[in-house]
Chains A and B, each alone.
Chain A
Protein backbone atom coordinates (compact mmCIF):
# COMPACT_ATOMS: atom_id res chain seq x y z
CA UNK A 1 0.00 0.00 0.00
CA UNK A 2 2.28 2.73 1.23
CA UNK A 3 5.50 0.78 0.89
CA UNK A 4 6.00 2.02 -2.66
CA UNK A 5 7.19 5.29 -1.16
CA UNK A 6 10.15 3.60 0.52
CA UNK A 7 12.54 4.22 -2.40
CA UNK A 8 14.33 7.55 -2.15
CA UNK A 9 12.93 10.15 -4.49
CA UNK A 10 14.14 13.53 -5.64
CA UNK A 11 13.90 15.98 -2.78
CA UNK A 12 12.08 18.49 -4.95
CA UNK A 13 8.83 16.53 -4.66
CA UNK A 14 8.70 17.09 -0.91
CA UNK A 15 9.71 20.69 -1.37
CA UNK A 16 6.91 21.08 -3.88
CA UNK A 17 4.29 19.59 -1.55
CA UNK A 18 5.51 21.71 1.36
CA UNK A 19 5.35 24.83 -0.81
CA UNK A 20 1.86 23.99 -2.02
CA UNK A 21 0.66 23.63 1.56
CA UNK A 22 2.38 26.84 2.58
CA UNK A 23 0.73 28.68 -0.28
CA UNK A 24 -2.64 27.59 1.11
CA UNK A 25 -1.58 29.17 4.37
CA UNK A 26 -1.04 25.86 6.18
CA UNK A 27 2.14 24.67 7.79
CA UNK A 28 2.59 20.89 7.68
CA UNK A 29 2.14 20.81 11.44
CA UNK A 30 -1.23 22.55 11.34
CA UNK A 31 -2.42 20.33 8.49
CA UNK A 32 -1.54 17.14 10.41
CA UNK A 33 -3.50 18.32 13.44
CA UNK A 34 -6.37 19.88 11.53
CA UNK A 35 -7.34 17.00 9.22
CA UNK A 36 -8.26 14.39 11.89
CA UNK A 37 -9.59 17.04 14.28
CA UNK A 38 -11.96 18.52 11.70
CA UNK A 39 -13.14 15.06 10.66
CA UNK A 40 -13.93 14.10 14.27
CA UNK A 41 -15.64 17.41 15.00
CA UNK A 42 -17.90 17.00 11.96
CA UNK A 43 -18.60 13.27 12.20
CA UNK A 44 -18.38 12.62 15.93
CA UNK A 45 -18.92 15.76 18.02
CA UNK A 46 -21.57 17.55 15.94
CA UNK A 47 -23.67 14.35 15.54
CA UNK A 48 -23.84 14.03 19.34
CA UNK A 49 -24.96 17.65 19.58
CA UNK A 50 -27.61 16.93 16.94
CA UNK A 51 -28.85 13.99 19.05
CA UNK A 52 -29.20 16.34 22.03
CA UNK A 53 -31.05 18.86 19.91
CA UNK A 54 -33.49 16.32 18.49
CA UNK A 55 -34.07 14.75 21.91
CA UNK A 56 -35.37 18.19 22.84
CA UNK A 57 -37.62 18.45 19.76
CA UNK A 58 -41.19 17.30 19.31
CA UNK A 59 -42.24 14.27 17.31
CA UNK A 60 -44.11 15.02 14.08
CA UNK A 61 -45.53 12.99 11.26
CA UNK A 62 -43.37 13.76 8.26
CA UNK A 63 -39.87 13.72 6.89
CA UNK A 64 -37.81 14.27 8.98
CA UNK A 65 -40.19 13.10 11.73
CA UNK A 66 -39.57 15.88 14.22
CA UNK A 67 -40.45 19.56 14.51
CA UNK A 68 -37.74 22.19 14.30
CA UNK A 69 -36.66 23.06 17.83
CA UNK A 70 -36.37 26.70 17.08
CA UNK A 71 -37.44 28.67 14.11
CA UNK A 72 -35.00 31.57 14.14
CA UNK A 73 -36.18 33.85 16.91
CA UNK A 74 -38.67 31.47 18.52
CA UNK A 75 -39.40 31.89 22.22
CA UNK A 76 -37.45 29.78 24.67
CA UNK A 77 -40.39 28.52 26.72
CA UNK A 78 -41.31 26.38 23.76
CA UNK A 79 -37.92 24.65 23.92
CA UNK A 80 -38.30 23.93 27.62
CA UNK A 81 -41.73 22.32 27.30
CA UNK A 82 -40.47 20.10 24.48
CA UNK A 83 -37.46 19.18 26.54
CA UNK A 84 -39.57 17.61 29.21
CA UNK A 85 -41.91 15.75 26.90
CA UNK A 86 -39.43 13.19 25.50
CA UNK A 87 -37.57 12.56 28.74
CA UNK A 88 -40.78 12.53 30.81
CA UNK A 89 -42.10 9.96 28.37
CA UNK A 90 -39.13 7.72 29.23
CA UNK A 91 -39.86 8.09 32.95
CA UNK A 92 -43.63 7.55 32.67
CA UNK A 93 -43.54 4.43 30.53
CA UNK A 94 -42.09 1.61 32.64
CA UNK A 95 -40.91 -0.13 29.46
CA UNK A 96 -37.90 2.18 29.30
CA UNK A 97 -36.96 1.95 32.98
CA UNK A 98 -37.23 -1.84 32.76
CA UNK A 99 -35.07 -1.90 29.64
CA UNK A 100 -32.36 0.17 31.30
CA UNK A 101 -32.39 -1.93 34.49
CA UNK A 102 -32.42 -5.14 32.44
CA UNK A 103 -29.51 -3.98 30.29
CA UNK A 104 -27.38 -3.14 33.32
CA UNK A 105 -28.29 -6.45 35.00
CA UNK A 106 -27.62 -8.59 31.90
CA UNK A 107 -24.38 -6.75 31.15
CA UNK A 108 -23.20 -7.10 34.77
CA UNK A 109 -23.97 -10.83 35.00
CA UNK A 110 -22.31 -11.48 31.61
CA UNK A 111 -19.25 -9.53 32.74
CA UNK A 112 -18.91 -11.63 35.89
CA UNK A 113 -19.26 -14.90 33.93
CA UNK A 114 -16.68 -13.68 31.40
CA UNK A 115 -14.30 -12.75 34.23
CA UNK A 116 -14.62 -16.20 35.83
CA UNK A 117 -13.89 -17.93 32.50
CA UNK A 118 -11.18 -15.52 31.33
CA UNK A 119 -9.13 -15.34 34.54
CA UNK A 120 -7.89 -18.95 34.50
CA UNK A 121 -7.28 -18.69 30.74
CA UNK A 122 -5.22 -15.52 31.14
CA UNK A 123 -3.36 -17.04 34.08
CA UNK A 124 -2.64 -20.20 32.07
CA UNK A 125 -1.28 -18.16 29.11
CA UNK A 126 0.78 -15.87 31.35
CA UNK A 127 2.32 -18.84 33.16
CA UNK A 128 2.97 -20.96 30.08
CA UNK A 129 6.38 -21.06 28.39
CA UNK A 130 7.32 -17.82 26.69
CA UNK A 131 7.55 -19.32 23.21
CA UNK A 132 3.95 -20.59 23.44
CA UNK A 133 2.42 -17.39 24.77
CA UNK A 134 2.06 -15.57 21.45
CA UNK A 135 0.45 -18.58 19.81
CA UNK A 136 -2.04 -18.95 22.67
CA UNK A 137 -2.82 -15.23 22.60
CA UNK A 138 -3.43 -15.42 18.87
CA UNK A 139 -5.83 -18.32 19.46
CA UNK A 140 -7.78 -16.04 21.82
CA UNK A 141 -7.82 -13.12 19.38
CA UNK A 142 -8.49 -15.09 16.18
CA UNK A 143 -12.27 -15.55 16.69
CA UNK A 144 -12.53 -11.79 17.17
CA UNK A 145 -11.41 -11.34 13.57
CA UNK A 146 -14.21 -13.48 12.18
CA UNK A 147 -17.56 -11.80 11.76
CA UNK A 148 -19.33 -10.87 14.98
CA UNK A 149 -22.72 -11.50 13.38
CA UNK A 150 -21.70 -14.98 12.24
CA UNK A 151 -20.33 -15.89 15.66
CA UNK A 152 -23.72 -15.04 17.15
CA UNK A 153 -25.37 -17.00 14.33
CA UNK A 154 -23.21 -20.03 15.19
CA UNK A 155 -24.88 -20.15 18.60
CA UNK A 156 -28.32 -20.22 16.97
CA UNK A 157 -27.27 -23.53 15.43
CA UNK A 158 -25.98 -24.74 18.81
CA UNK A 159 -28.86 -23.76 21.06
CA UNK A 160 -31.90 -24.12 18.79
CA UNK A 161 -34.77 -26.59 19.23
CA UNK A 162 -33.21 -28.86 16.62
CA UNK A 163 -29.77 -27.57 17.53
CA UNK A 164 -26.59 -29.48 18.09
CA UNK A 165 -26.87 -29.56 21.89
CA UNK A 166 -30.46 -30.84 21.86
CA UNK A 167 -29.71 -33.39 19.14
CA UNK A 168 -26.68 -34.70 21.03
CA UNK A 169 -28.48 -34.94 24.37
CA UNK A 170 -31.49 -36.65 22.78
CA UNK A 171 -29.25 -38.95 20.77
CA UNK A 172 -27.54 -40.01 23.98
CA UNK A 173 -30.94 -40.56 25.61
CA UNK A 174 -30.26 -38.00 28.36
CA UNK A 175 -33.41 -36.01 27.55
CA UNK A 176 -36.62 -36.93 25.74
CA UNK A 177 -37.89 -33.45 24.95
CA UNK A 178 -35.70 -30.74 23.41
CA UNK A 179 -34.64 -28.13 25.95
CA UNK A 180 -35.70 -24.55 25.30
CA UNK A 181 -32.40 -22.69 25.17
CA UNK A 182 -32.70 -20.27 22.27
CA UNK A 183 -34.70 -17.08 22.83
CA UNK A 184 -34.01 -17.07 26.54
CA UNK A 185 -32.01 -14.75 28.73
CA UNK A 186 -29.47 -17.53 29.23
CA UNK A 187 -28.73 -17.54 25.52
CA UNK A 188 -28.07 -13.79 25.71
CA UNK A 189 -25.51 -14.38 28.50
CA UNK A 190 -23.81 -17.06 26.40
CA UNK A 191 -23.75 -14.75 23.35
CA UNK A 192 -22.28 -11.78 25.22
CA UNK A 193 -19.67 -13.85 27.08
CA UNK A 194 -18.71 -15.63 23.88
CA UNK A 195 -18.29 -12.57 21.66
CA UNK A 196 -16.55 -10.35 24.22
CA UNK A 197 -14.32 -12.96 25.92
CA UNK A 198 -11.13 -11.83 24.08
CA UNK A 199 -11.63 -8.29 25.47
CA UNK A 200 -11.55 -9.78 28.97
CA UNK A 201 -8.62 -12.15 28.44
CA UNK A 202 -6.21 -9.59 26.93
CA UNK A 203 -6.08 -6.97 29.74
CA UNK A 204 -6.03 -9.75 32.36
CA UNK A 205 -3.11 -11.34 30.55
CA UNK A 206 -1.27 -8.00 30.38
CA UNK A 207 -1.68 -7.57 34.14
CA UNK A 208 -0.80 -11.18 35.03
CA UNK A 209 2.22 -11.59 32.76
CA UNK A 210 3.98 -8.70 34.50
CA UNK A 211 3.28 -10.14 37.94
CA UNK A 212 6.54 -10.88 39.72
CA UNK A 213 6.76 -14.63 40.38
CA UNK A 214 8.95 -14.03 43.43
CA UNK A 215 6.05 -12.32 45.21
CA UNK A 216 4.02 -15.53 44.94
CA UNK A 217 6.97 -17.59 46.13
CA UNK A 218 7.57 -15.23 49.04
CA UNK A 219 3.95 -15.52 50.06
CA UNK A 220 4.15 -19.33 49.89
CA UNK A 221 7.43 -19.37 51.84
CA UNK A 222 5.81 -17.35 54.58
CA UNK A 223 3.22 -20.09 54.88
CA UNK A 224 0.24 -18.68 52.98
CA UNK A 225 -1.97 -21.29 51.36
CA UNK A 226 -2.39 -20.89 47.57
CA UNK A 227 -5.90 -19.51 47.98
CA UNK A 228 -4.73 -16.91 50.51
CA UNK A 229 -1.86 -15.95 48.19
CA UNK A 230 -4.37 -15.55 45.37
CA UNK A 231 -6.66 -13.32 47.45
CA UNK A 232 -3.97 -11.16 49.05
CA UNK A 233 -1.24 -10.98 46.37
CA UNK A 234 -2.38 -11.96 42.88
CA UNK A 235 -5.88 -10.51 42.91
CA UNK A 236 -4.95 -6.98 44.12
CA UNK A 237 -2.02 -6.77 41.70
CA UNK A 238 -4.18 -7.73 38.74
CA UNK A 239 -6.97 -5.33 39.71
CA UNK A 240 -6.31 -2.81 36.87
CA UNK A 241 -6.57 -5.70 34.40
CA UNK A 242 -9.79 -6.90 36.04
CA UNK A 243 -11.37 -3.44 35.88
CA UNK A 244 -10.22 -2.73 32.31
CA UNK A 245 -11.41 -6.13 31.06
CA UNK A 246 -14.73 -5.88 32.89
CA UNK A 247 -15.47 -2.44 31.47
CA UNK A 248 -14.49 -3.56 27.96
CA UNK A 249 -17.20 -6.24 28.26
CA UNK A 250 -19.75 -4.23 30.26
CA UNK A 251 -19.78 -1.07 28.11
CA UNK A 252 -20.55 -2.64 24.71
CA UNK A 253 -22.91 -5.16 26.35
CA UNK A 254 -25.14 -2.33 27.64
CA UNK A 255 -25.90 -1.06 24.14
CA UNK A 256 -25.93 -4.49 22.49
CA UNK A 257 -28.55 -4.95 19.79
CA UNK A 258 -27.62 -8.00 17.71
CA UNK A 259 -27.28 -10.54 20.55
CA UNK A 260 -30.63 -9.89 22.30
CA UNK A 261 -32.50 -9.77 18.99
CA UNK A 262 -31.04 -13.04 17.65
CA UNK A 263 -30.56 -15.10 20.83
CA UNK A 264 -32.98 -13.42 23.25
CA UNK A 265 -36.71 -13.87 23.46
CA UNK A 266 -39.35 -11.28 22.77
CA UNK A 267 -39.32 -10.46 26.50
CA UNK A 268 -35.54 -9.93 26.71
CA UNK A 269 -35.68 -6.16 26.85
CA UNK A 270 -32.39 -4.42 26.31
CA UNK A 271 -31.94 -0.74 25.72
CA UNK A 272 -30.09 -1.07 22.40
CA UNK A 273 -33.02 -3.04 21.06
CA UNK A 274 -35.55 -0.50 22.41
CA UNK A 275 -33.67 2.32 20.70
CA UNK A 276 -33.59 0.35 17.45
CA UNK A 277 -37.35 -0.35 17.55
CA UNK A 278 -38.14 3.24 18.53
CA UNK A 279 -36.21 4.39 15.50
CA UNK A 280 -37.00 1.81 12.83
CA UNK A 281 -40.45 0.58 13.86
CA UNK A 282 -42.04 3.63 15.51
CA UNK A 283 -40.01 6.19 13.55
CA UNK A 284 -39.98 8.34 16.68
CA UNK A 285 -36.60 10.05 16.29
CA UNK A 286 -36.94 12.39 19.31
CA UNK A 287 -37.67 9.52 21.73
CA UNK A 288 -34.89 7.41 20.18
CA UNK A 289 -32.52 10.36 20.76
CA UNK A 290 -33.67 10.75 24.36
CA UNK A 291 -33.09 7.00 24.89
CA UNK A 292 -29.57 7.43 23.48
CA UNK A 293 -28.78 10.30 25.81
CA UNK A 294 -29.91 8.47 28.94
CA UNK A 295 -27.79 5.50 27.79
CA UNK A 296 -24.75 7.77 27.50
CA UNK A 297 -25.34 9.09 31.01
CA UNK A 298 -25.44 5.51 32.36
CA UNK A 299 -22.15 4.80 30.60
CA UNK A 300 -20.25 7.78 32.04
CA UNK A 301 -19.15 5.98 35.24
CA UNK A 302 -18.02 2.75 33.48
CA UNK A 303 -16.10 4.80 30.89
CA UNK A 304 -14.36 6.78 33.64
CA UNK A 305 -13.48 3.54 35.45
CA UNK A 306 -12.04 2.15 32.23
CA UNK A 307 -9.85 5.17 31.62
CA UNK A 308 -8.57 5.14 35.23
CA UNK A 309 -7.71 1.43 34.95
CA UNK A 310 -5.98 1.92 31.60
CA UNK A 311 -3.93 4.82 32.94
CA UNK A 312 -2.89 2.65 35.89
CA UNK A 313 -1.69 -0.04 33.48
CA UNK A 314 0.22 2.52 31.38
CA UNK A 315 1.90 4.04 34.46
CA UNK A 316 2.98 0.60 35.64
CA UNK A 317 4.64 -0.05 32.30
CA UNK A 318 6.73 3.07 32.48
Chain B
Protein backbone atom coordinates (compact mmCIF):
# COMPACT_ATOMS: atom_id res chain seq x y z
CA UNK B 1 0.00 0.00 0.00
CA UNK B 2 2.85 2.35 0.90
CA UNK B 3 4.47 1.72 -2.50
CA UNK B 4 1.24 2.58 -4.27
CA UNK B 5 1.17 5.98 -2.60
CA UNK B 6 4.83 6.97 -3.01
CA UNK B 7 4.64 7.61 -6.75
CA UNK B 8 1.58 9.92 -6.75
CA UNK B 9 3.09 11.87 -3.85
CA UNK B 10 6.35 12.41 -5.74
CA UNK B 11 4.43 13.38 -8.88
CA UNK B 12 2.26 15.87 -6.97
CA UNK B 13 5.39 17.39 -5.39
CA UNK B 14 6.89 17.64 -8.89
CA UNK B 15 3.87 19.51 -10.20
CA UNK B 16 3.85 21.73 -7.11
CA UNK B 17 7.51 22.56 -7.81
CA UNK B 18 6.51 23.57 -11.35
CA UNK B 19 3.57 25.75 -10.39
CA UNK B 20 4.22 27.24 -6.93
CA UNK B 21 6.62 29.98 -8.15
CA UNK B 22 4.25 31.01 -10.94
CA UNK B 23 1.25 31.12 -8.62
CA UNK B 24 3.10 33.23 -6.04
CA UNK B 25 4.16 35.60 -8.84
CA UNK B 26 0.51 36.14 -9.79
CA UNK B 27 -0.75 36.45 -6.20
CA UNK B 28 1.81 39.08 -5.21
CA UNK B 29 1.08 41.19 -8.29
CA UNK B 30 -2.15 42.17 -6.51
CA UNK B 31 -0.32 43.08 -3.33
CA UNK B 32 -0.55 46.59 -1.93
CA UNK B 33 2.93 46.75 -0.46
CA UNK B 34 6.12 47.54 -2.32
CA UNK B 35 7.58 44.43 -0.75
CA UNK B 36 6.87 41.68 -3.21
CA UNK B 37 6.72 38.92 -0.62
CA UNK B 38 4.73 40.32 2.32
CA UNK B 39 0.96 40.42 1.81
CA UNK B 40 -0.65 43.65 3.05
CA UNK B 41 -3.83 43.96 1.02
CA UNK B 42 -5.42 43.77 -2.40
CA UNK B 43 -4.52 46.48 -4.88
CA UNK B 44 -4.33 47.03 -8.62
CA UNK B 45 -1.83 49.87 -8.34
CA UNK B 46 1.04 47.95 -9.94
CA UNK B 47 -1.05 47.37 -13.04
CA UNK B 48 -1.77 51.09 -13.21
CA UNK B 49 1.93 51.86 -12.73
CA UNK B 50 2.75 49.44 -15.54
CA UNK B 51 0.60 51.18 -18.13
CA UNK B 52 2.02 54.57 -17.15
CA UNK B 53 5.56 53.35 -17.67
CA UNK B 54 6.22 54.47 -21.24
CA UNK B 55 9.48 52.51 -21.42
CA UNK B 56 7.67 49.23 -20.75
CA UNK B 57 4.76 50.04 -23.04
CA UNK B 58 6.96 50.94 -26.01
CA UNK B 59 9.23 47.92 -25.39
CA UNK B 60 6.15 45.68 -25.31
CA UNK B 61 4.91 47.10 -28.61
CA UNK B 62 8.34 46.63 -30.21
CA UNK B 63 8.54 43.04 -28.92
CA UNK B 64 5.09 42.18 -30.26
CA UNK B 65 5.97 43.62 -33.68
CA UNK B 66 9.25 41.71 -33.79
CA UNK B 67 7.58 38.47 -32.64
CA UNK B 68 4.77 38.71 -35.22
CA UNK B 69 7.15 39.51 -38.08
CA UNK B 70 9.75 36.86 -37.28
CA UNK B 71 7.12 34.19 -36.50
CA UNK B 72 5.53 34.80 -39.92
CA UNK B 73 8.80 34.64 -41.89
CA UNK B 74 9.94 31.65 -39.79
CA UNK B 75 6.69 29.82 -40.52
CA UNK B 76 7.09 30.31 -44.28
CA UNK B 77 10.76 29.25 -44.27
CA UNK B 78 10.17 26.42 -41.78
CA UNK B 79 7.33 25.04 -43.90
CA UNK B 80 9.53 25.14 -47.01
CA UNK B 81 12.31 23.36 -45.11
CA UNK B 82 9.83 20.78 -43.81
CA UNK B 83 8.56 20.17 -47.37
CA UNK B 84 12.10 19.94 -48.74
CA UNK B 85 13.07 17.34 -46.13
CA UNK B 86 9.96 15.16 -46.46
CA UNK B 87 8.49 15.53 -49.95
CA UNK B 88 11.29 16.11 -52.42
CA UNK B 89 13.17 12.83 -52.16
CA UNK B 90 16.93 13.05 -52.38
CA UNK B 91 18.76 16.16 -53.47
CA UNK B 92 22.26 17.49 -53.19
CA UNK B 93 22.78 19.15 -49.82
CA UNK B 94 19.91 17.38 -48.05
CA UNK B 95 22.17 16.22 -45.21
CA UNK B 96 23.58 19.73 -44.90
CA UNK B 97 20.09 21.23 -44.76
CA UNK B 98 18.99 18.66 -42.14
CA UNK B 99 22.00 19.54 -39.99
CA UNK B 100 21.72 23.30 -40.41
CA UNK B 101 18.00 23.35 -39.68
CA UNK B 102 18.34 21.47 -36.39
CA UNK B 103 21.65 22.98 -35.23
CA UNK B 104 20.10 26.23 -33.94
CA UNK B 105 18.05 24.07 -31.51
CA UNK B 106 21.18 23.01 -29.61
CA UNK B 107 23.28 26.14 -30.17
CA UNK B 108 23.82 28.10 -26.93
CA UNK B 109 22.04 31.45 -27.16
CA UNK B 110 25.18 33.43 -26.33
CA UNK B 111 26.93 31.94 -29.38
CA UNK B 112 23.96 32.53 -31.71
CA UNK B 113 23.74 36.12 -30.52
CA UNK B 114 27.47 36.80 -30.75
CA UNK B 115 27.84 35.19 -34.20
CA UNK B 116 24.89 37.09 -35.68
CA UNK B 117 26.11 40.39 -34.29
CA UNK B 118 29.56 39.81 -35.78
CA UNK B 119 27.88 38.95 -39.10
CA UNK B 120 25.76 42.11 -39.06
CA UNK B 121 28.80 44.27 -38.27
CA UNK B 122 30.79 42.64 -41.08
CA UNK B 123 27.86 43.01 -43.49
CA UNK B 124 27.44 46.66 -42.63
CA UNK B 125 31.15 47.26 -43.21
CA UNK B 126 31.05 45.45 -46.56
CA UNK B 127 27.63 46.22 -48.09
CA UNK B 128 26.41 49.11 -45.94
CA UNK B 129 23.42 46.99 -44.91
CA UNK B 130 21.85 46.54 -42.38
CA UNK B 131 22.74 50.07 -41.33
CA UNK B 132 22.86 50.10 -37.56
CA UNK B 133 21.05 47.56 -35.42
CA UNK B 134 17.47 47.40 -34.26
CA UNK B 135 14.17 46.03 -35.51
CA UNK B 136 15.57 44.50 -38.73
CA UNK B 137 18.55 42.74 -37.17
CA UNK B 138 16.45 41.34 -34.29
CA UNK B 139 13.86 40.03 -36.78
CA UNK B 140 16.59 38.37 -38.87
CA UNK B 141 18.10 36.74 -35.77
CA UNK B 142 14.78 35.57 -34.35
CA UNK B 143 13.61 34.20 -37.68
CA UNK B 144 16.73 32.06 -37.88
CA UNK B 145 16.32 30.26 -34.57
CA UNK B 146 12.50 30.17 -34.73
CA UNK B 147 12.42 28.51 -38.15
CA UNK B 148 14.25 25.52 -36.67
CA UNK B 149 11.35 24.96 -34.26
CA UNK B 150 8.73 25.48 -36.98
CA UNK B 151 10.53 22.95 -39.19
CA UNK B 152 10.40 20.32 -36.43
CA UNK B 153 6.65 20.83 -35.94
CA UNK B 154 5.75 20.96 -39.66
CA UNK B 155 8.05 18.10 -40.58
CA UNK B 156 6.53 15.67 -38.10
CA UNK B 157 3.05 16.62 -39.30
CA UNK B 158 4.08 16.01 -42.93
CA UNK B 159 5.54 12.60 -42.01
CA UNK B 160 2.27 11.65 -40.28
CA UNK B 161 0.10 12.86 -43.14
CA UNK B 162 -1.50 10.36 -45.49
CA UNK B 163 0.26 10.76 -48.83
CA UNK B 164 -2.48 9.05 -50.79
CA UNK B 165 -4.49 12.27 -50.71
CA UNK B 166 -1.69 14.09 -52.52
CA UNK B 167 -1.33 11.24 -54.97
CA UNK B 168 -5.07 11.13 -55.65
CA UNK B 169 -5.14 14.86 -56.45
CA UNK B 170 -2.07 14.44 -58.64
CA UNK B 171 -3.74 11.52 -60.47
CA UNK B 172 -6.78 13.72 -61.08
CA UNK B 173 -4.50 16.15 -62.90
CA UNK B 174 -3.74 18.83 -60.29
CA UNK B 175 -0.39 20.61 -60.64
CA UNK B 176 2.04 20.20 -57.70
CA UNK B 177 1.45 23.82 -56.68
CA UNK B 178 -2.31 23.31 -56.67
CA UNK B 179 -1.94 20.08 -54.69
CA UNK B 180 0.04 21.98 -52.11
CA UNK B 181 -2.43 24.82 -51.68
CA UNK B 182 -5.62 22.77 -51.95
CA UNK B 183 -4.67 19.54 -50.20
CA UNK B 184 -1.40 19.66 -48.22
CA UNK B 185 -1.70 23.16 -46.75
CA UNK B 186 -5.22 22.73 -45.29
CA UNK B 187 -4.19 19.42 -43.72
CA UNK B 188 -0.99 20.72 -42.15
CA UNK B 189 -2.51 24.09 -41.17
CA UNK B 190 -2.86 23.10 -37.47
CA UNK B 191 0.90 22.43 -37.48
CA UNK B 192 1.52 25.82 -39.13
CA UNK B 193 -0.57 27.55 -36.48
CA UNK B 194 1.12 25.81 -33.58
CA UNK B 195 4.50 26.40 -35.24
CA UNK B 196 3.69 30.09 -35.61
CA UNK B 197 2.55 30.34 -31.98
CA UNK B 198 5.70 28.57 -30.79
CA UNK B 199 7.88 30.91 -32.86
CA UNK B 200 5.94 33.94 -31.61
CA UNK B 201 6.39 32.87 -27.96
CA UNK B 202 10.09 32.12 -28.40
CA UNK B 203 10.72 35.48 -30.04
CA UNK B 204 8.74 37.35 -27.40
CA UNK B 205 10.71 35.57 -24.69
CA UNK B 206 14.24 35.95 -26.01
CA UNK B 207 16.62 38.10 -23.98
CA UNK B 208 20.13 36.93 -24.87
CA UNK B 209 20.07 36.98 -28.68
CA UNK B 210 18.15 40.27 -28.80
CA UNK B 211 20.64 41.88 -26.41
CA UNK B 212 23.48 41.10 -28.81
CA UNK B 213 21.82 42.23 -32.04
CA UNK B 214 19.78 45.23 -30.85
CA UNK B 215 20.97 48.79 -30.99
CA UNK B 216 20.40 51.92 -28.94
CA UNK B 217 16.73 52.84 -28.72
CA UNK B 218 15.48 49.37 -29.60
CA UNK B 219 15.15 47.61 -26.25
CA UNK B 220 12.77 44.67 -26.32
CA UNK B 221 10.49 43.81 -23.42
CA UNK B 222 12.76 41.06 -21.97
CA UNK B 223 15.69 43.52 -22.09
CA UNK B 224 13.72 46.10 -20.09
CA UNK B 225 12.52 43.45 -17.62
CA UNK B 226 16.07 42.14 -17.20
CA UNK B 227 17.52 45.55 -16.44
CA UNK B 228 14.75 46.09 -13.86
CA UNK B 229 15.03 42.74 -12.05
CA UNK B 230 18.81 42.74 -12.05
CA UNK B 231 18.51 45.16 -9.16
CA UNK B 232 15.98 43.00 -7.30
CA UNK B 233 12.31 42.10 -7.27
CA UNK B 234 9.83 44.82 -8.21
CA UNK B 235 6.03 44.54 -8.02
CA UNK B 236 5.27 46.04 -11.43
CA UNK B 237 7.24 43.19 -13.01
CA UNK B 238 4.88 40.83 -11.16
CA UNK B 239 1.93 42.64 -12.72
CA UNK B 240 3.55 42.37 -16.15
CA UNK B 241 4.26 38.67 -15.57
CA UNK B 242 0.63 38.08 -14.65
CA UNK B 243 -0.57 39.72 -17.86
CA UNK B 244 1.87 37.62 -19.92
CA UNK B 245 0.83 34.42 -18.12
CA UNK B 246 -2.87 35.12 -18.73
CA UNK B 247 -2.26 35.91 -22.42
CA UNK B 248 -0.15 32.76 -22.84
CA UNK B 249 -2.72 30.60 -21.04
CA UNK B 250 -5.45 31.87 -23.37
CA UNK B 251 -3.18 31.33 -26.38
CA UNK B 252 -2.23 27.77 -25.38
CA UNK B 253 -5.85 26.91 -24.62
CA UNK B 254 -6.83 28.33 -28.03
CA UNK B 255 -4.10 26.40 -29.81
CA UNK B 256 -5.07 23.17 -28.03
CA UNK B 257 -8.70 23.70 -28.95
CA UNK B 258 -7.71 24.38 -32.56
CA UNK B 259 -5.48 21.34 -32.64
CA UNK B 260 -8.22 19.11 -31.23
CA UNK B 261 -10.84 20.39 -33.66
CA UNK B 262 -9.57 18.30 -36.54
CA UNK B 263 -7.51 15.53 -35.05
CA UNK B 264 -8.71 12.86 -37.47
CA UNK B 265 -7.48 14.10 -40.82
CA UNK B 266 -4.03 12.60 -40.72
Contacts and interface: CB of A to CB of B under 8 A. Distances in A.
Interface of A: 1-3, 5-6, 8-9, 11, 14-15, 17-18, 28-29, 32-33, 35-37, 39-41, 43-48, 50-51, 54, 64, 117-118, 120-121, 123-125, 127, 138-140, 142-143, 145-151, 153-158, 160, 162-164, 167, 194, 197, 226, 251-252, 254-255, 257-258, 261-262, 272, 275-276, 279-280, 285, 288-289, 292, 295-296, 299, 303, 306
Contacts of B251: 145
A272 B108 CA distance: 8
A6 B182 CA distance: 6
Contacts of B186: 3, 5-6
Given A14-B177, A14-B178, A146-B22, A299 B88 contact: no
Nearest to A127: B7
B208 A258 contact: yes
B232 interface: yes
A303 B106 contact: yes
A138 to B, nearest CB: 7
B189 interface: yes
B37 A160 contact: yes
A116 to B, nearest CB: 10
A145 B241 CA distance: 12
Contacts of A117: 14, 17
Contact of A40 (B14, B100, B226): B100
B230 A120 contact: no
18 contacts: A14-B175, A17-B177, A18-B175, A43-B143, A46-B119, A47-B112, A54-B118, A120-B10, A120-B14, A125-B11, A138-B252, A149-B226, A153-B237, A160-B233, A252-B109, A255-B108, A275-B110, A295-B111
Contacts of A32: 80, 83-84, 88
Given A1-B196, A261-B230, A162 B25 contact: no
Given A153-B25, A164-B37, A148 B144 contact: no
A39 to B, nearest CB: 6
A153 B115 CA distance: 27
Interface string B66-90: 0000000001011011011000100
Contact of B97 (A36, A50, A147): A36
A163 B45 CA distance: 21
A6 B106 CA distance: 35
Majority SS at the chain A contact face = helix
B225 A5 contact: no
Most chain-B Cβ atoms within 10 A of its Cβ — which of A121, A275, A280?
Answer: A121
A164 B20 CA distance: 11
B100 A44 contact: yes
A252 B108 contact: yes
A197 B18 contact: yes
Given A32-B83, A138-B256, A258 B182 contact: no
Contacts of A14: 175, 177-178, 181
Given A121-B14, A153-B225, A296-B111, 9 more contacts: A43-B143, A127-B7, A148-B205, A150-B237, A153-B229, A154-B21, A197-B17, A197-B18, A257-B110
Contact of A120 (B7, B19, B176): B7
A167 B39 CA distance: 11
B88 A143 contact: no
B59 interface: no
A292 B107 CA distance: 11
B104 interface: yes
B60 interface: no
Contact of A150 (B14, B17, B114, B225): B225
Nearest to A5: B181
Contact of A36 (B21, B24, B78): B78
B57 interface: no
B153 interface: no
A39 B207 contact: no
Contacts of A35: 77, 80
Nearest to B120: A47
B97 A162 contact: no
Contact of B114 (A39, A124, A279): A279
B108 A295 contact: yes
B193 interface: yes
A150 B122 CA distance: 34
Given A157-B36, A306-B106, A40 B256 contact: no
B217 interface: no
Interface in B145-182: 147, 151, 175-178, 181-182
A50 B115 contact: yes
A257 to B, nearest CB: 6
B17 A43 contact: no
A288 B177 CA distance: 46
Contacts of A158: 20-21, 24
Contact of B10 (A121, A148, A156): A121
Interface string B127-148: 0000000000000110110010
A301 B47 CA distance: 47
Contacts of A9: 181
